[in-house]
Structure 1
Amino acid sequence: MRRISLRVLDALLLLWLVTTLTFALLHLAPGDPATLLIAPTATADEAAQLRATLGLDASLPVQYARWIGGLLRGDLGTSLVRSLPVRTVIAESLPISVFLGGISLLISFVLGTVAGLVQALRVGPRADRWLSLISVTVYAAPSFWLALALVALFTSGVAVLGLPDGVRLPAFGMQSPSSGGTADWSDRWRHAVLPLLVLSIPGAAGVARYARQTLRTAASAPYVTSAYARGLSRARVEWRYILRSALTPLVVLLGLTLPGVIAGSVFVEQVFAWPGLGRAMLSAIGARDYPVVLGLTLVYAGTVVLANLLADLALWWLDPRRRH
């Protein structure tokens, strides 16, 4: 219990540091939202009045005290641009990002673990080298480049390549996967194919590289050789000894993979015009909408910190040596 309490305190401290640093960087950057919200013909007095209305005329410590006080009360503030509570802005965008991030994380881990297992235990050296080359190349490909390449191939390139219309995948026009009736779900899934591919393929390549090395290390352990010597089947040895031994580092990898999925989703949502948290974050940054940027930073940082905390606690629970 003491270890859990210390890890929770560390997570809260890290979350506070991230949000405080973001607050400072936003407010210390040149300019403020008033310059973007006010009309070009406005006078200096009108600009000063708008800044006072938005609370931007106060000193930086006062603004921080107001924000942190509202945060402790559960109030994330109001969007300067949309005049909506930040919680409403997050609630509108969160289901889309959870939909994309959750499914892509699951696909990445399943495909990556299977690919790593095949490379480590099922293929020869030559095939392993080719698969390693492919996985490294895919993992190194930038998300925005991969997104544009898939759009060019499966959206605009279908007619040029002479492929049937059923292969054409829509890239834009998605509204929300949580709205509408059941009949629209097929269209939503067609819109989701390209974003999920962009998020899942590099993630699966990275997981495959890690899982390959982890499974190879586990397969070379003495108890695995002993299990084969006792006459156990290959499938039983791989499942009971090798995969179970590799479970602990794979759990840690799950916590470390989530930040990459979140970072990639920001660009993917912007490229494919999905109204998720990533697109809302980029729009808020462009408009200098401080409350929305801080609220979304809190969500992103909280998700990453929570994932790492749960991975650390799961590692402590799975590995008896850490409990003692």
Structure 2
Amino acid sequence: MRRFSLRVFDALVLLWLVITFTFALIHLAPGDPATLLVAPTASAEETARLRAQFGLDAPLPIQYARWVGGVLTGDLGESLTRAIPVTTVIAEALPVSLFLGGVSVLLTFLVGTMFGVWQALRARALADRLLSVVGTVLYSAPSFWLALALVTLFTSGAVWLEAPAWLRLPAFGMQDPGAVESTWSDRWRHAVLPLIVLSVPGIAGVTRYARQSFRDAALAPHVTSAVARGLSAPRVEWHHIVRNALTPLVVLFGLTLPGVIAGSVFVEQVFAWPGLGRTMLTAIAGRDYPVVLGLTVVYAAAVILSNLLADTLLWWLDPRQRESAR
């Protein structure tokens, strides 16, 4: 319990440091958001009045104190460009990122672990070597190249190849432009290409990681000793191979969890999905300080909580961690 309390305290301090540095950097960067919100013909007095309206004329320490006080009470401020609460902006974009990130992370670990185990059982075979080469190529492929290649292949390429209609996948947006209301089937058709771009490199990486993890666990000396003592195969596989092999995968899963909401910035921008990533890019371009800072709190909290979760799961799965904590 004491160790967990210390970890929580460290997490809170780290969160405070991240949002403090972000606040300082974004306010010290050149540019004034008030000049982007007024008409080009606006006078200096009108610009000054707008800065005072948003509290941008106050000294930086006072702005920081006001913002931190609001965060502690759950108030992230109001968007400068949209004139709505930042919490509303985040609430509108969060489901989109959760959908893309959640599905892609599940696909990454389910498919990657299955391929990894399959390769571990066929180590050094021709199929294992071929999959290793393919996985390395896919893992190292730039996301922007993969996205553009898929868009070309399934849009103009599908038309040129006279592919059936179900293979002509939409490249942009979450629904057809003429649709009044998006249906789940339409949403999934629009999600195919973004999910492929998000999942394929991750699947390749997890496959390699899982393969090595299961191989190392299966070749460990205590496994050979367990077999020599006459333990049943299921007991050896579960207690001595699978459990030890899953420990590093659980840690990797915990470190990957922030990608559920923070890992699709590029994909959301390319495929025009209005998630948190695209919202962040738009806010940065428009110097919308409250939205940028609010999203920073969300991203930083997701990363820190995921690391805390991974550490807790590792402590629960690995008896050596519990022994060292005593």
**Fold match, TM over 0.5?**
yes
Q: How does 1:200-215 map to 2 (within 5 A)?
A: 200-215=199-214
Residue identity matched to 2:157 = G
Amino acid at match of 2:163: L
One-letter identity of the residue aligned with 1:43: S
What letter corresponds to residue 274 of structure 2 in structure 1?
A: P
**Post-superposition shift, 1:261?**
5.3
* 8 Å Cα contact 2:116-2:207 kept in structure 1: yes
One-letter code aligned to 1:192: A
- Counterpart in the other structure of 2:220: 221
* 1:9 Cα deviation after fit: 0.8
SS at 1:83's partner residue?
coil
Report deviation, 1:143: 1.9
Q: What's the counterpart of residue 281 of structure 1?
A: 280
What is the distance in 1 between the residues matched to 2:159 and 2:240? Answer: 50
Is 1:100 aligned with 2:106?
A: no
TM-score w.r.t. structure 2 length? Answer: 0.92
Contact 2:108 2:200 in 1 (8 A): yes
What RMSD over aligned residues (CA atoms) do the two structures have, in Å? Answer: 2.0
Deviation, structure 1 residue 19: 0.9
Contact 1:143 1:264 in 2 (8 A): no
Alignment of 1:25-40 (within 5 A): 25-40=25-40
Does the 8 A contact of 2:102 with 2:260 survive in 1? no
Mapped to 1, the partners of 2:292 and 2:197 lie a distance apart of 25
Matched ranges for 1:1-324 at <5 A: 1-174=1-174, 184-229=183-228, 230=230, 232-233=232-233, 237-260=236-259, 262-324=261-323
Q: Write the deviation string for residues 3-51 of structure 1: whole angstroms up to 9, x where unpaired.
A: 1111111111111111111111110110121111111111111111111
Aligned residues: 319
Q: Alpha-carbon deviation of 1:240?
A: 4.6
Going from structure 1 to structure 2, the CA distance change for 1:91 and 1:145 (only over 3 Å counts) comes to same
1:238 Cα offset (Å): 4.0
The 2-side partners of 1:280 and 1:46 are apart by: 28
Q: Is this contact kept in 1: 2:112–2:203, CA < 8 A?
A: yes
Letter of the structure 1 residue corresponding to residue 275 of structure 2: G
Q: Secondary structure at the match of 1:91?
A: helix
Distance 1:278 1:287 in 2: 14
Report the Cα offset of residue 225 of structure 1: 2.7
3-state SS, counterpart of residue 302 of structure 1: helix
- How far the C-alpha of 1:224 sits from its partner, in A, is 2.6
Gaps of 5+ in 2: none
Give runs of ≥4 in structure 1 deviating > 6 Å.
Answer: none
